[in-house]
Amino acid sequence: MSIIHFEEIRQSIQVKGICQKCSKRRSRTVSAGMTVNPFNKNPDGTVRTRSEIYNAVNEKLRVSTDKMKENFICKSCFDALPWPQEWPEKKGVSNAKT
Ligand SMILES: [Zn+2]
């Protein structure tokens, strides 16, 4: 038995905003990734190609970025929040199996 490593397509983007908790101007990095594998399929059941995965990752990233802009909070305030709370990284923005 061998371990197969699938290639991961990962993208990240920096979001700037004013923290709603401490009112400081901060920036955070949002990242999203997906692996290229035979189980990563399109809604129509076909296996996603690298460029389709690339698009899907960008879409995930766009959703996370929009969410973050809506309710911007800096990393240190975020880490101090009680669990669970309304934040995409901890809730899991996407149900897509990666
Ligand atoms: Zn803050």
Find the 73 Cα to ligand 1 centroid distance in Å.
5
Residue 30: CB atoms within 10 Å? 22
pLDDT tens-digit profile of 35-61?
999 999 999 999 999 999 999 999 999
Find the 41 Cα to ligand 1 centroid distance in Å.
38
Joined tokens for residue 27: 């920036």
pLDDT for res 4: 81
3-state secondary structure at position 56: helix
pLDDT tens-digit profile of 55-96?
999 999 999 999 999 989 999 998 888 776 555 554 444 444
